[in-house]
Amino acid sequence: MSQTFHHTHYLIAGLIAALMAFATPTAWAQLTVFPDRFAITEGETIQLTVEVDQRTASRPDFSPLTRDFHFLGSKQMTVSSYANGANHNTTRWKILLRPRRTGDLQIPPLQLNNEYSQPQLITVEGIAGAAALISSDAFLESSTDSYEVYQNSQLLYSIRLFHLDELPPMSTLSELVIPGTKVLPLGDKQQYTRQMKGQAYLVTEQSYAIFPEQNGPFTIPPAHFSAGPGTPELNTDPINVDVLPRVSQTIRGYWLPAAKLTLEDLTTEDNSLVLGESQLRILKISAEGLMADQLPALMPLRNELAQITVEDVSLEQNVTVKGISSSRTETVRITPAERGEVTLPEIIIPWWDINSDKSERVRLDKVVLKIEPAAVEEASVSATKMAEAPVTEVSASPPEEDLNNNSMRVLVWLLTAIAIISSLGWLYSHSSQRRKKFDIGELDDKPGTLFSGHRQKNVAANPASEHLRRNSASQQNIPQDRAQEDSAKSESGQNQLKRMLENEQQAFKKALDACYNDLPLESRLLILDWARLFWPGNTLSDSLDLSEVSNSKTLELLLMDMESYISGSESGQWSGDLLAKALEHIRDSQLRNTR
């Protein structure tokens, strides 16, 4: 009997455990439904929220709703929270409904797996209590494609007027104005027909793209329609929208919330160049759900082995009823400074996919340009080698070999003569230079010369160019037997110094132009390019480094202001004239102190 009791005890315990295991999901996964209002008027819409307190990929069966309501759309989201040492997940659906008739309508129980929600009762008032109706054959509604949107991303908003007759000439539909956002009309008003309540309605629709500039909640105000003076006015309800903040990404400086983003290299030219030539590269970034002025610059303008300049920037923005699509096309010119290889680094642009709600990247692989020596340089090297080659006597040979040897001798003597004439010309030029005592140090003291005035300041401000100047000035004391070799080095140093000064001046002018044109991102890149030339002994990777090396609090504040506009924490149009003037003052002051 005892054994039977124990078997019975174990059997009961097993049944209880099985029932608890079966009941646990039911108790843990609870399905709830609640509308935003329980009383509406005919023609208005209600927002129904459906929640289950777990993360799930399944979707409730919404088909029972279509018996008494028009199903206008839904959006699913997952909300996660952490409390009392545990994670809590909630899956939420927001549904937009419009009643099919007046009276007391029931939102029936909805099913998700084995769970059912409680029914809800909605009262729909008739025409007498409808504030949004002119008559039984006209009503106004508004809607958005979502009730949650990321900061700086696109929110689609539409106003629809349903009517049976043509609109009178004096009729007006209100324009959308929302402080703290950018609002773009998506073309002109659209007109089409739609079957509702067994009746073919004319629909006049105006759509907008809204780009919230700040995170947090905001309200889309009611839309208004008037058929003319003295007529009743149709109004919609306001719509509340939550604006989510920017999401932190691994590559800082970019925030591009879009439905789609692509990056293309449209360059058709070959990657092999001859020294002295330049190449045009064309890069294009395209996006759906972003404005053209939100798209970033693509090509880095700094390269140690080439000069990179922007030839053209083309912004294109298209408007359709589905939203904004835009593109930015950059045309840059790349001029190699020496033969060999020039590597253009890979370009990586991070963006936020608002459809999958995750971070994505587009990239272009690095490009290696092969720079061949100029044809004139090759011919000169060949001629020099042939002129220096020893000429040996050729013994008697057959007539054909004699003819070839004679032709070869003529070619050798001709190239030798060219080399001798070139050498004599160089020697004449060199002796003229020595008679004139050509010296960088003397030119610095002469007004109106190449290195006087403003260029003299650049030499003093740049340690690398100062070293070249002193090295060139010492050439006048070199012994006679080394004159040829050292004169060539002096000329090379002068050319290098001149090129450094020109590059610094050009870089500074580009930086000022970007500031005066109020382009914050281009200004940051060009200012850093110039600063690396002006302070070559310092490592400058960002604006903070520049403010430290300049030791200017004013410049630091102005750079912080520029960075705030680049990051989007400041809205509106950035003004760069103060930063440009501060850079001019700092540059002049640095040059005066190092004279």
Between 390 and 72, the more confident residue is 72
What pLDDT band is residue 428 in, cutting at 50, 70 and 90? low
Closest among 241, 226, 123, 120 to 167, alpha carbons compared: 226
Helices (H) and strands (E) in the chain, counts: 11, 31
- The mean pLDDT value for 39-66 works out to 85
pLDDT in tens, 113-147: 888 889 999 988 864 333 333 455 788 999 999 99
pLDDT for 548 equals 80
Q: What is the mean pLDDT of residues 349-364?
A: 91
Both tokens of 203, joined, read 């629909």
What are the residues whose beta carbons fall under 8 Å from the beta carbon of 191, sequence distance 6 or more? 202, 203, 204, 205
pLDDT digits (tens, 9 = 90+) for 156-183: 999 999 988 888 878 888 899 999 999 9
Per cent of the chain over pLDDT 70 is 73
Give mean pLDDT, residues 266-276. 89
Res 537: pLDDT: 78
pLDDT of 562? 87
pLDDT at 178: 92
Read off the amino acid at residue 89.
N
Q: List strand residue ranges (DSSP E) for 36-85, in order.
A: 39-41, 46-52, 69-83
| 494: nearest Cα among 453, 438, 570 | 438
Contacts 24+ apart (CB under 8 A), 391-397: none
The gap between the terminal CA atoms of the chain, to the nearest Å, is 112
Residues with Cβ within 8 Å of 164's Cβ and at least 6 positions away in sequence, in order, are 137, 138, 199, 201, 202
User: 3-state class of 110 per DSSP?
Assistant: coil
Predicted confidence (pLDDT) at residue 5 exceeds the cutoff of 90: no
Average pLDDT, the chain: 77
The pTM score is: 0.46
Query: Comparing 391 with 534, which gets the higher pLDDT?
Result: 534
Decide the pairing of beta strands 199-212 and 233-235: unpaired
Least confident of 273-282, 406-415, 489-498, 569-578: 406-415
pLDDT at 395: 41
Q: Which residue has the higher pLDDT, 3 or 138?
A: 138
Strand ranges for 454-516 from DSSP E? none
Q: To 10 degrees, the CA torsion angle through 50, 55, 57, 61? A: -20
Query: Does 488 have pLDDT greater than 70?
Result: no
Please report the pLDDT score of residue 426 as a whole number: 57
In 3-state terms, what secondary structure has residue 586? Answer: helix
Identify the pLDDT of residue 530: 87
The 3-class secondary structure across 258-278, one letter per residue, is ECEEEEEECCCCCCEEEECEC
What is the predicted pLDDT for the residue at 41?
A: 76
pLDDT tens column, 557-581: 888 888 888 877 777 788 888 889 8
d(CA 47, CA 96): 5
Mean pLDDT lowest for which of 3-12, 152-161, 513-522? Answer: 3-12
